[in-house]
Amino acid sequence: MTNPVPKTDMVFLKHFAQLIAFLMFVAVLLVVLGAYIYSKHPPEENPDKAKVVAERIAPVGGVYAGDTGRAAMQAAQDAAAKAAASQVAYGGTTDGKTIYGNLCHSCHDTGAGGAPKISDKAAWAPRVAQGIDTLVKHAIEGFTGKAGVMPARGGNPALNDEQVKATVEWIAGEVK
């Protein structure tokens, strides 16, 4: 019986196996070298690591009981209101067109959430007929109706009442 694999093929297979073994050796060597270099140069730590951990594990809320609790809760609400008031949206501008362009257009240009499109004067007519005060109230407090949902302050709690009113007046002027 003769060998079915010719001698030239045997030589090729021998050299190919040696090449694969050499490449595996180089790969293992590179992995070990990389691990060694990494151990000598650890990654930098975030200097705010303690602050980040404290924020992550901070309680979401608090429990208040009795008169002391009521006072603490009122103080927390006052502090939150003061913090929100200090962060007025869009630099405090009362230009309705600017606020519309930054916030309101995302729903009122596309009709998202059932919002009337600013280009659809027929959809705005019954709303404008209710009066500016009603529209401003719905924009400030939010409104859920048959046609859709208007989030409070357009979804941006940093808007103050004057900014909301200016924007509603601008929109009402555009849809008339």
Q: What is the distance between the alpha carbons of residues 93 and 83, in angstroms, rounded to a whole number?
A: 18
H or E element at residue 136: helix 132-141
CB 115, CB 152: distance < 8 Å: no
User: What pLDDT is recorded for position 30?
Assistant: 98
- Nearest by Cα to 135 from 109, 165, 156, 161: 165
User: What pLDDT is recorded for position 6?
Assistant: 86
At 34, list the tokens. Answer: 């990389």
Residue owning tokens 């990654």: 43
Q: What is the distance between the alpha carbons of residues 162 and 140, in angstroms, rounded to a whole number?
A: 10
Q: What is the distance between the alpha carbons of residues 165 and 139, in angstroms, rounded to a whole number?
A: 8
User: What pLDDT is recorded for position 93?
Assistant: 83
User: What pLDDT is recorded for position 14?
Assistant: 95
What CATH class has 96-175? mainly alpha
Mean pLDDT for back-to-back runs of 10 residues, the chain (176 residues): 80 96 98 93 86 89 73 82 71 86 90 88 89 91 85 86 91 89
User: What pLDDT is recorded for position 133?
Assistant: 93
User: What pLDDT is recorded for position 85?
Assistant: 61
